Amino acid sequence: MVEDDPGVGDSLALLLAQIGHESRVYPDAESFFECHPPDPEDTVIVDLGLPGLSGMQVVRWLSGLKTPPKVIAITGQPSRAIAEVVDGHLPAILLRKPLTEESLVSHL
């Protein structure tokens, strides 16, 4: 998971652990890029509103992998701002914050 808000990252990690998933939280795109690329069977949750390198840059990088993982993009931005951020390249799964357990779990 790439999420700059520690509260959101911790909450999502706890939720994922409670339903049997392992997770790692990266506070920014740069630290995520320094790790080993995700496996195709992984799911990567990416906040579109990251500081520094954007969440959309992470999404584009992931989609360019030979065997990309599932990507869930999350954002608290209003619809108009989302349209500007995704620049016509809407991620397959886009969820609005605040997330509900049901909305996230249904996409895992």
d(CA 46, CA 25): 10
- How far does CA 69 lie from the centroid of its chain? 11
Q: Which domains, and CATH codes, for the chain?
A: 6-105 (3.40.50.2300)
Q: What is the mean pLDDT of residues 24-38?
A: 96
- pLDDT tens, 72-99? 999 987 776 676 666 666 667 888 888 9
CA dihedral 28, 108, 87, 97 (to 10 degrees): -70
Q: For 71, phi and psi rounded to 5 degrees?
A: -120, 130
How many angstroms separate the CA atoms of 28 and 33, rounded?
9
Query: Which range has the worst mean pLDDT, 31-35, 47-51, 55-59, 79-83?
Result: 79-83
